[in-house]
Amino acid sequence: MDYQKVSETLKALSHPTRLQIVEYLSEGKKCVKEIWEELRIPQPTASQHINVLKNAGVICYKKEGVRTCYRIKDERVIRILKILKEEERKNG
């Protein structure tokens, strides 16, 4: 196991807003405007969190004209989200 990579992924996921972004992206690719509108956060805040996730290799992007759309790159985070949701249902 690459502990450094796993640690970077977990650090990137360790903020509530970033978890929300990843959960939203688990539905499929979204453009940055869709992300900040859905989460009701300022665009600069969304961009900062997106950069953390992108730099950690959790998400990636594709330019579509003037739009930048993001998707989950590291599929392990979807499994992590599922585990967290299951645990919340059991304990919540």
Q: What is the mean pLDDT of each run of 10 residues along the chain (92 residues)?
A: 91 96 96 95 96 96 94 92 90 77
> Can you read off the two tokens belonging to residue 20?
């929300």
The pLDDT of residue 1 is 87
Give the torsion through C-alpha atoms of 29, 34, 38, 43, to 10 deg: 120
- Contacts of 64 by beta carbon, 8 Å cutoff, 6+ apart: 31
Domains held by the chain: number: 1
**Which residues span the domain enclosing 25?**
3-91
pLDDT score, position 92: 67
d(CA 56, CA 84): 20
pLDDT at 75: 87
Q: What is the CATH number of the domain that holds 61?
A: 1.10.10.10
